[in-house]
Amino acid sequence: MKLITHYVLRNMSLHRARSIGAFLAYLVIMVFFAAELSMLDDFRISNETALDGIFGTHDGIFCTETPNVEQYGDFEATGVMAVKFTGTKDSEITDRLIIAGNADDTAVNLCSITAVEGRLPKTENEIALERSLHDILFPNSAVGDNISINITSSEKSQAVFLLCGIVNDFSGYQWDSSGNKPEMPNALVGGKCVDAMYYFVSVKGNVTGTDRAVFLPNQRNSLDLMNSMFGISSDNSAAILSVVLIMFVLISFVAVLFVFSRMNGKELGVLRSAGFDEKSVSAISAIRLSLLIVPALILGAVGGCAITMIRAGMVHCISIIKLAAFIVFSVVILCVAEIYWVKKGFRRPVNCELRKSPPKTGVKVTSSDPIWLYSLRSYIMNGQEISACAVTTFLAVMLLSISVSVNAQMRSTILQMERPYDMSVLFTDRTVTTLNVSRYNAGLSEQEFQALKNKGADVIGIKRQYVYELGVSDDSGDIYSDSRNDDIKQDMERLGFSDQDIFALRINGLDDDSVNYISGHIIDGEIDRIGLQTGTQAIWVSSGGADEHSVGDVIRLGFVVNSDPDEPSYDKMKYYEISVTICAVANFPFDSPDRKARALYDCIEGGLIWSDKAFENIGIQKGYDAVYLWFPEDNSAVYRLINDFQSHYGSLFHTTDYMHEQQVRTEITSQIEMVSVVFISGIAAVSLISFAVVTASRAAQRRKVYGYLRAAGLTGWQMFRLLMAENGISIAVSILSGAVLGWLLVCFLQIPMSGGWLIAVMAAGYAVVTACVCAIIAYRICRVSIAECIR
Amino acid sequence: MITINEVKKCYTLGENNSVPALDGVSFEINDGELVFVMGKSGSGKSTLLHILGGIDRPTSGIIKYGDIEITSLSERKLALFRRDNIGFVFQDYNLVPELTASENIKYPVLLAGRKPDRRLWEHLISTLELGDRLEHLPSQLSGGQQQRVAIARALISDPQVILCDEPTGNLDSEAAENVQNMLFRLNSDLKKTVVIVTHDSDFARKGKRTITLMDGRIT
């Protein structure tokens, strides 16, 4: 053993260049592999929560318009599921909530749910009922009893639940049982789902019956996003990518090994003929290989993880475990392969005379061009070595073809993600009633609100804007069916708007009822109706808090519109501000839920500016009252609206605040892109490195032949041509077939393509780079002394 | 005429450790002359031949073929010069294993973009008795046959100078004798300038001029 080790060390020392070449090949490949693998892990592990945090405050929204709890069976929710129960019992209309499933903290906090008796559900067969619903439906059942609920549209006719708790009456929702649409924080109501409530609840795991579930696109949950990010972020896809990557890297390793193994053939043959038995020769090969690859792979893994850490800040344990397992696996595989080749080549001492010549097959292949003659003959007679190179190239190009397509699709998805409030998805198939248009509005996020708020101390309120919809009204007749219509028309005439513009906006308009109602609560100043309607005046809704304003104060209001109706995105979102003067201060009692809703509705429309405290009094989160303005079907209306704003309100100007949310979103999307780019560049780098190593190694093996050819007058350019011709056929075939197969797989996997040209460009680029590699090797060969080559 | 003037060649074996292979060698070779270069192993014979043939460059000194100073030629011009003017015969033949005997012979001419001269081709094939071996791969030829192919290859472009590095070193006595006779005939019949590096003193004794090297110097 000592002799063997001594020989191996001496051999590696004597063949430093060869050893260093192999070491670097393994090292660099491993660096890319480790970086990619750890990034995949890092991304896979962190993306779910990160994306949830960024692409939506909540995990998802689902709604049901069921008149019964029949839809319960369609949802396989592990989180809280809230179903509005609107069935009847003893002719009494109920309008209550049932909670079933595992109530998680987020949803519970969000919905302000508290158990007044028992506890909240923890498993799917448990249920908690609102107190009033319990009293109506199951007055004789107590917590701990089993109750059964009819499920009319499910296969089961009846579902049995354990009544685990009684919860409060959800007053925090501002539940409006009078038929008016409730103003609810975090809730969206509208259109056909007039009886439905949308709750922000955590729905994790599989959600079936998605025709009933609505996910707001701006609040994409991770599942939605991952599915659209094929190959990048989903668990399965990440696993598939990892396996593909591992296989690819292993093949690259074996290709490199194969060539290096043949370079050592002469020495092993000499040893074999000198009396070394098979085991000894195999041991030499295994030790030599291990000495090369073990440190190379470990260092490569460390380097790759370092890249990930620099980029992402952490490397998960799972990555390290995977990499360690891969190193062990690789070493074993490579050693077995090496020993196999050695045994196959040197089993019998007669083989130790070394490979004297290639077989005669292929002699018939000929060409009048000496470069092609040699190249074709070499290609035919040394097929194994070239095949090793060709296989890696083929796989690389195929993977790259798929990857660039996925990347293009991913970019497209990211662009779509940047459409924060894509209401067209939500409302496409809905019939909307007039004046329900407010339900088209989506609130600003807290960050957006804060971005406006932080602009200055004077920004104390956010102006809600409504888009009025004319074309899709299911009401007959005018836009407004009551006296408000005339009021608005009169207002518009006073303001100088044409009839065509009426549909577009009604800004700060107050109807007579509202004026009368507000007038009764004015404690200072007077209502300036025209001023309110033109946006130059506002009423301050006082609540006795610290943030009071008085008559005459000038305050600034902010709101948001999207400047590009075709492609709404944060980039194209503009923040507008308007300066208004407080003309009056009012104080409302807010003594009943109905009155609250009505007051809020009127006052927000009517230009009343609410103090924070006043909002709190009626349970409104002010952050969600700021409105993103986007017309769902005909965005030209938005333009007209903006133009009208700008023409009629001289104090209107827009700001260019950059939102925190956008920054975070950018970070996430750049992270996704980084994973994709690293994957593509990793594959390209690994394959090009293995190509370069294999080609350089083959050139080194043939240095004597090349030396002779150069002695016979082969110029540098001819050497380049020779190398290109020798490798070109296999490379061209590999690239072409890889690109075609990749394209077919892309079609098969139904990945939307931005165009086949992308694959063509990639393949052409790959070909150019391989040509450059050949040129460099040719240059290197020409720089080596001919005398050294033929010595 | 080939002029070798103060040619030195040092091999570097690490920092501050260079080994002189040739140490100020100067001599001339007339056109059509047959010159043997002898010396012990490591005396610089092969190095001298490589430098003479332009496949290695001297550390210092000048080599001229007539008026052409090959030591100052660029790599490309040197390659073209070798292709047209110099033929090499090596001890271990250095045939391209993937090419048949005929292709090995023709290869230098093909590289130059020409076709082999038919008369010269036929003359070489008949003289070197390779007619029935032309389609064989090197691995299917004996040592003597391979060396004859190598000689034919060296001559196919009709170079004026033939440089032979121990051309009979790997051959048995009968094959060696044949090769020796061929090289003599090249010189006598075709008036080629032939430089032969050899260990074989009997072989060298048949020539008119012998240069002996010792430790990189002519003795």
Q: Which pLDDT tens digit goes with each residue over A547-573?
A: 577 888 876 654 444 444 444 444 444
Q: Are residues A138 and A247 in the same domain?
A: no
Residue of chain B minimizing CA distance to A369: B110
Among A605, A634, A656, identify where a domain stops: A656
Whether B63 shows a pLDDT value over 70: the answer reads: yes
Domain that holds residue B197: 31-58+81-218
User: What would the mean pLDDT of A748-760 be, rounded to a whole number?
Assistant: 63
A381 touches chain B (CB under 8 A): yes
Which residue among A381, A713, A790 places its CB closest to the CB of B108?
A713
How many structural domains is chain B composed of?
1
Percent of chain A with pLDDT over 90: 0
The answer to whether residues A241 and A210 belong to one domain is no
A105 φ/ψ angles, rounded to the nearest 5 degrees: -60, -40
Average pLDDT (A616-638) is 40
Which of B46, B76, B94 lies at the smallest CB-CB distance from A716?
A: B76
Q: Over 60: is that where the pLDDT of A653 sits?
A: no
Helix axes A703-711, A716-748, angle to 10 degrees: 140
Among A214, A241, A271, the domain-final residue is A214
pLDDT at A201 over 70: no
pLDDT at B117: 86
Other beta carbons within 10 Å of A717: 12
What pLDDT, on a 0 to 100 scale, did the predictor assign at position A60? 28
Q: Answer whether residue A56 is part of any domain.
A: no
For residue range A43-61, list pLDDT tens digits in order.
655 544 433 333 222 222 2
Nearest Cα residue to A263 out of A5, A15, A29, A10: A15
> Would residue B25 count as lying in a domain?
no
Examine residue A220 and state whether it is found in any structural domain, yes or no. no
Residue B105 has pLDDT above 70, yes or no: yes
B164 conformational bin, left if phi > 0, alpha if psi -120 to 50, beta if neither: beta
Indicate whether B123 belongs to any domain. Answer: yes
Judge whether residue B188 has pLDDT over 80. Answer: yes
- A352 vs B28, higher pLDDT: B28
Is 80 exceeded by the pLDDT of residue B133? yes
For chain B, the first-to-last Cα distance in angstroms comes to 22
Q: Are A652 and A670 contained in the same domain? A: no
Q: Which of A625, A656, A687 is the last residue of a domain?
A: A656
Q: What is the mean pLDDT of residues A738-756?
A: 69
Instruction: Please tell me whether residues A738 and A611 are part of one structural domain.
Output: no
- Give the strand pairing for A627-629 and A442-443: antiparallel
Measured distance CA(A233)–CA(A239) in Å, rounded: 10
- Between CA B30 and CA B207 the distance in angstroms is 14
Please check whether residue B76 lies inside any domain of the structure: no
Same domain, A69 and A115: yes
Confidence class for position A73, pLDDT limits 50, 70, 90: very low
**CA nearest to B141 within chain A:** A357
Tell whether A445 is covered by a domain.
no
Task: Give the CB-side neighbour count of residue B95, counting CA atoms within 13 A.
Answer: 32
pLDDT surpasses 80 at B214: yes
Query: For A278, phi and psi rounded to 5 degrees?
Result: -60, -45
Letter string b/e over residues A530-547, b meaning 16 or more CB atoms within 10 A of that residue's CB: ebbbbbbbbbbbbbeeee
Map A197-212 to HEC letters: EEEECCCCCCCCCCCC
| pLDDT for A349 | 47
Residue A137 lies in a domain: yes
CA distance B33 to chain A (A): 22
Residue A738 or residue A98, greater confidence: A738
Q: Which residue has the higher pLDDT, A101 or A29?
A: A29
SS3 A588: coil
Judging contacts by C-beta atoms under 8 Å, the chain A residues touching residue B111 are: 370, 709, 712-714, 718
Residues A672 and A755 in one domain: yes
Question: Domain range spanning residue A12?
Answer: 2-48+231-414+665-790
What pLDDT does residue A567 have?
46
Contact, A38 vs A45, CB < 8 A?
A: no
Q: What is the mean pLDDT of chain A?
A: 59
* CA distance readout (Å), B144 to A359, A514, B168, B182: 21, 117, 8, 12
Q: What is the pLDDT of residue A205?
A: 28
What are the residues whose beta carbons fall under 8 Å from the beta carbon of B130, sequence distance 6 or more?
Answer: B101, B105, B124, B145, B148, B149, B152
* Within a domain: A374: yes
* Residues A238 and A382 occupy one common structural domain: yes
Q: Residue A82 domain-assigned?
A: yes
CB contact set of A511 (below 8 Å; sequence gap of 6+)? A483, A484, A487, A488, A602
Q: What angle do CA A58, A64, A67 make, to 5 degrees?
A: 150
Read off the pLDDT band of A141 (50, 70, 90).
confident
Indicate if the pLDDT at residue B170 is higher than 50: yes
Spatial strand order of the sheet with B209-214 comes to B86-89, B161-165, B193-197, B34-39, B209-214, B217-218
**Per-residue three-class SS string for A147-192:** EEEECCCCCCCEEEEEEEEEECCCHHHCCCCCCCCCCCCCCCCECC
pLDDT for A321: 81
**Residue A350 pLDDT more than 60?**
no
Could you write out the DSSP letters of every residue in A381-437?
Answer: HTHHHHHHHHHHHHHHHHHHHHHHHHHHHHHHHHHHHT-TT-HHHHHTT--B-TTGG
Nearest CB to A716 within list B75, B138, B139: B75
Best mutation site among A786, A788, A789, A791 for testing chain B: the one with the most B CBs within 10 Å?
Answer: A786
Confidence tier at A95 by pLDDT (50, 70, 90): very low
Q: Which two tokens stand for residue B74?
A: 């660029």
Mean predicted confidence (pLDDT) in A312-339: 78
pLDDT at B50 over 70: yes
- Residue range A725-745: mean pLDDT, rounded: 82
Q: Which residue has the tokens 């396989």?
A: A76
Q: Collect all residues of chain B within an 8 Å Cβ-Cβ radius of residue A716.
A: 75-76, 79
Kindly identify which residue of chain A lies nearest to residue B49, measuring between CA atoms: A787
Q: Say whether A559 sits in a helix, a strand or coil.
A: strand
Average pLDDT taken over every residue of chain B: 85
Query: Which class for A506: exposed (0-12), middle (13-18), buried (19 or more C-beta within 10 A)?
Result: buried
Lowest-pLDDT range of A107-116, A562-571, B40-49, B103-112: A562-571
Q: Is residue A254 part of a domain?
A: yes
Pick from A36, A119, A111: nearest CA to A683: A36
* pLDDT at residue A149, as a whole number: 62
User: Quick check: is B150 in a domain?
Assistant: yes
Mean pLDDT in residue range A440-454: 43
What was the pLDDT predicted at A275? 66
What's the pLDDT score for residue A254?
Answer: 79
Whether A343 has a pLDDT exceeding 50, the answer reads: yes
What's the number of domains chain A is made of?
3
% of chain A exceeding 70 in pLDDT: 40
Domain membership of residue B5 (yes or no) is no
User: What is the per-residue pLDDT for A241?
Assistant: 65
Instruction: Note whether A29 and A161 are same-domain residues.
Output: no
Is 50 exceeded by the pLDDT of residue A492? Answer: no
Among A96-110, A520-534, A586-600, B67-81, the range scoring the smallest mean pLDDT is A96-110
Nearest to B96 among A705, A713, A786 (CB): A705
Tell if the CB–CB gap between B96 and A370 is shorter than 8 Å: no
User: What's the CATH code of the domain at B194?
Assistant: 3.40.50.300
CB neighbours of residue B30 within 10 Å: 10
User: At residue B201, does pLDDT exceed 70?
Assistant: yes
Strands (E), chain B: 2-12, 18-29, 34-39, 60-65, 68-69, 86-89, 161-165, 193-197, 209-214, 217-218
Give residues with Cβ within 8 angstroms of A764, minimum separation 6. Answer: none
Confidence of residue A179 (pLDDT cuts 50, 70, 90): very low
Inter-residue contact B81 to B160 (CB < 8 Å): no
Rounded average pLDDT over A183-202:
26
Same domain, A610 and A681: no
Q: What is the band of A158 on the pLDDT scale with cuts at 50, 70, 90?
A: low
**In the block, residue with structure tokens 């890249």:** A307
pLDDT tops 70 at residue A578: no
Among the residue ranges A261-275, A756-770, B127-141, the one predicted with the least confidence is A261-275
- Give me the pLDDT at residue A361, please: 57
Contact A373 B103 (CB under 8 A): yes
- Whole-number Cα distances in Å, A82 to A64, A659, A712, B85: 9, 32, 86, 95
For residues A230 and B201, the model is more confident at B201
In which band, very low, low, confident or very high, does the pLDDT at A688 lie, cut at 50, 70 and 90?
confident
Residue B204 in domain: yes
Q: Of A244-248, A530-534, B21-25, which gets the smallest average pLDDT?
A: A530-534
* Contact indicator for B49, B37 with CB cutoff of 8 Å: yes
| CA–CA dist A239, A224 (Å, integer) | 18
pLDDT of residue A693: 77
Judgement on whether residues A352 and A481 belong to the same structural domain of the protein: no
Q: Which helix (H) or strand (E) holds A665?
A: helix A660-701
- Per-residue confidence band for B158, with pLDDT thresholds at 50, 70 and 90: confident
pLDDT of A486: 53
Asked if B96 and A710 come within 8 Å (Cβ–Cβ), the reply is no
A-chain residues within 8 Å CB-CB of B94?
Answer: 704-705, 707-708, 790
The predicted pLDDT at position A424 comes to 19
pLDDT above 80: residue A734: yes
Q: Which residue has the higher pLDDT, A254 or A195?
A: A254
Q: What percent of chain B has pLDDT over 90?
A: 5
Locate tokens 């002519």: which residue?
Answer: B218
Q: Which of A365, A373, A367 is nearest to A726 (CA)?
A: A373
pLDDT, tens digit (0-9, with 9 covering 90-100), for A361-416: 556 667 777 777 777 777 777 666 677 777 778 888 887 777 777 666 666 555 54
Please answer yes or no on whether B82 and A378 come within 8 Å at the CB atom: no
A208 or A110, higher pLDDT: A110
Query: Higher confidence at residue A352 or residue A718?
Result: A718
Say if residue A635 is in the same domain as residue A710: no
Q: How far apart are CA B142 and CA B130, in angstroms?
A: 12
Local confidence band at A751 (pLDDT 50, 70, 90 cut-offs): low
Question: Within a domain: residue A446?
Answer: no
Question: At residue A629, what is the residue type?
Answer: L
Q: Are A609 and A555 in contact (CB under 8 A)?
A: yes
Better pLDDT: A346 or A353:
A346
For residue A696, name the pLDDT band (cuts at 50, 70, 90).
confident
CB contacts, 8 Å: A718 with chain B: 111
Assign A335 a pLDDT band (cuts: 50, 70, 90): confident
B69 belongs to a structural domain: no
Residues 6+ apart with CB under 8 A from B190: none
What pLDDT score does A77 carry?
29
Instruction: Determine the Cα–Cα distance for residues B161 and B78; give it in Å rounded to an integer.
Output: 15
CA atoms within 13 A on the CB side of A585: 14
Between vectors from CA A722 to CA A738 and to CA B101, what angle results, nearest 5°? Answer: 120
* Residue A644: strand, helix, or coil: helix
Exposed (0-12), middle (13-18) or buried (19+): which is A719, by Cβ within 10 Å?
A: buried
Q: In this complex, is the C-beta atom of B96 within 8 Å of any C-beta atom belonging to chain A? A: yes
Give residue A510's pLDDT band: very low, low, confident or very high (50, 70, 90).
low
Q: Given A704, A709, A782, which is nearest B75 (Cβ)?
A: A782
Looking at the fold, whether A250 and A382 belong to one and the same domain comes out as yes
| pLDDT of B57 over the 70 cut | yes
Residue B123, pLDDT score: 83
